Amino acid sequence: MSSRGGTEAFVSLWSSIFLLILCVGGTVIMRKFQSSLAVGFFMGSVVAASQMFLLIFLILFGYIEDRLENNLPVDGERLNGFVCLVQAFLLGSFAAILAAHRSEILDQKISDDDDVTYEAPARRT
């Protein structure tokens, strides 16, 4: 397993590109295209990203076992695995929050007028 440098590089690059696309796409969807289809697609993308980071976490901890058998250091895998687990948790939490408030998001339309101020929705009792 010591020759997996290219694989780790690809996974790191792909996950960072995917997060960048998710951030830009989410910003565009939440600012301009607030339709039910667009918000649903964004929510599904966030869930998919959460699952991807959870799988990367599990793969990295599988690498730890292999490296321990070969008496190799595992500090990098532990750090990367922990970061992936935190990222999976954060994305999953965001997807749950987005799902809980999707009707409020769809009801709210952001105007491009400079003189219009944002008012928070009234709290339900």
pLDDT tens string 28-63: 888 887 788 888 899 999 999 999 999 999 988 888
pLDDT above 90 covers a percentage of the chain that reads: 30
Distance CA 72, CA 67 (A): 5
- Can you tell me the mean pLDDT for 5-21? 85
Higher-pLDDT residue of 43, 8: 43
pTM of the model: 0.72
Q: For residue 91, count CB atoms less than 10 angstroms from its CB and return exposed for 0-12, middle for 13-18, buried for 19 or more.
A: buried
| Alpha carbon distances (Å) from 63 to 50, 70, 76 | 20, 11, 11
